[in-house]
Structure 1
Amino acid sequence: MPSRIHEFDWPDRAVVGTIGLPGARTFYLQVRAGTQVVSVALEKQQAALLAEKIDEILDQLSTVEGNPFSVPTSTPIELVDNEQLEAVQEQFRTGAMSLGWDPTTAQVVIEAHPITTVDADDNDASLEEDGANETEMLLVRIPVGTARAFAMRTREIVGAGRPTCPLCGYPMDADGHICTLPED
C-alpha cells in the first residue's frame, strides 16, 4: 500500500502538458485542487494511451442501454483547457498506471504509480526494514465531461510533437532528417 497518496476528488484542474521543445519534451500529468498542485512525469506513449482508453470507457458508457449517466459524445466547449501547465515540481516519474470507472460518483478514476527499481538481490524483509517499499501514488477522480476534455487536450498535446516522416515513419527534426528505410 502506498504510504503517500495524492488524492483528488473533483479537482479544479486535471491536464496533461509538456515542458520543452518537440523532440525533447517532458510530459506531465498535473492536477490541482485549490492551492494543492501535483505534477507527475510520464512518457508520451503513456499520455497517448491514457487519452485513448478514457475515450473508450466514455464511448462504452454512452452506448449502454438505459445509461443513467449523461456521457458527452464530444468535448463540452466550456471544459476546454488550453492553458499552460502551472509551476511544475515533479513529484515522481510514472511507471504503472491504471484507469477505471466509479459508477457511484460517475467519475473516471486515474491512478499513477512511480517507477520502482528493486535490486534483484534484495528480499522483502530488507525492503520493509529500510522503508524502501514506501511509495507514492496519484489518485484522481474526474467527471465524464472533464474526462472527455482531458482526453481531447492530451491527444492534441501528443500530436503537437515533431512531424512524422512519410517514408520511414520516424519523427523528423527541424535541423534535418536521415531516413532509415530498410533495404530490399
Structure 2
Amino acid sequence: MTHQVHAFEPPERFVAGTVGAPGERTFFLQARGGGRVVSVALEKVQVSLLAEKLEELLTEAQRRFGVELPDAVLTSSDNDPLDNPVDEEFRVGTLGLAFDVDTATVVIEAIAAGETEAEVELGEPDEVDETDDEDEEPDDDLDRLRVRLTPQAAREFIERARRVVAAGRPPCPLCGQPLDPAGHLCPRHNGYHR
C-alpha cells in the first residue's frame, strides 16, 4: 500500500488549532505552503506534549551545539484560526522530533495512527531520522506530515500550542479535571455537589 508524505520544508505556516466548542474540541496540526494546506487530527495531550518536547529539544540543541535561540515569544503574530476547509488527512499516532545540526532546524514528523498507541519520540538532537527498534512494527507504509522549522518558528509554534491547550475548559480547583458548564461531580467531594 502506498503512503503519502506531506513535506513542508519550510512551511509558510505551521500551527496547532482546534475546531469546536470547549469540551468538544478536535485538535489539529495544520501546515500551509506551496498552495497546499494539510490538516492532521490529534489529541490534546499530544499537542501539549509536542510543545513540551520541542522546548526540551531547543534547550538541548543550545546546550550541546551552541545554537542561538530566540527569546521566548511574548506575543505571537499568528492568532488566526485554522485555514478553511479543515479536512483531516489522517489521525496522528506517533510524533517524531529531531534537530538537524547542518541546517539548524527542527524536524517534526506526524505519522498516521497504525496498530501502536500514540506516543512522542524525542530523537537525539544531531539526528534527523527517528530511531527504529526491531520489535516495533514498521511505519514506512503510513501517511505522514513532515515540517522543518527554524528555532524562531518552533518557539512561535510552542507559544501558540500552549495557548490553544489552555483555552479549553477551566480546571476544577480541587481535582484538576475540566469543569463542564452543566456542572461537575468532583471526586474530592465523593459525588456530592457543594
Query: Which category of TM-score, normalised to the shorter sequence, fits these structures?
Result: 0.7 to 0.9
2:157 is matched with which residue? 150
1:172 is matched with which residue? 179
1:36 is matched with which residue? 36
Q: 1:168 to 1:144 in 2, by over 3 A?
A: same
Report which stretch shifted further, 160-169 or 56-65.
Answer: 56-65
**Count of aligned pairs:** 166
**Aligned residue type for 1:75:** V
The answer (yes or no) to whether the contact 2:61–2:99 under 8 Å persists in 1 is no
SS in 1 for 2:97: strand
Bigger relative contact order, structure 1 or 2 (CA pairs below 8 A, ≥6 apart): 1
2:69 is matched with which residue? 71
Matched-pair identity in %? 45
Task: Please report how far the alpha carbon of residue 60 of structure 1 lies from its aligned counterpart in structure 2 after TM superposition.
Answer: 2.3
Question: Do residues 138 (structure 1) and 157 (structure 2) align?
Answer: no
The answer (yes or no) to whether the contact 2:97–2:107 under 8 Å persists in 1 is yes
Task: Please report how far the alpha carbon of residue 98 of structure 1 lies from its aligned counterpart in structure 2 after TM superposition.
Answer: 0.8
Task: Please report how far the alpha carbon of residue 134 of structure 1 lies from its aligned counterpart in structure 2 after TM superposition.
Answer: 3.7
Name which of 149, 161, 167 aligns with 1:160: 167
1:104 is matched with which residue? 102
1:125 is matched with which residue? none
Work out which of the two has the higher radius of gyration on C-alpha atoms and give 1 or 2: 1
The answer (yes or no) to whether the contact 1:168–1:180 under 8 Å persists in 2 is yes
SS in 2 for 1:181: helix
SS in 2 for 1:62: helix
Encode CA deviations 1:139-165: one digit per residue, 9 max, x unaligned.
Answer: 111110000000000001001111110
Report which stretch shifted further, 108-117 or 39-48.
Answer: 108-117
**Structure 1: gaps (5+ residues):** 119-132
Q: TM-score scaled by structure 2?
A: 0.79
1:93 is matched with which residue? 91
| Superposed CA RMSD | 2.1
**Structure 2: gaps (5+ residues):** 117-139
Name which of 67, 78, 82 aligns with 1:81: 78
Question: Do residues 181 (structure 1) and 179 (structure 2) align?
Answer: no
Q: TM-score scaled by structure 1?
A: 0.83
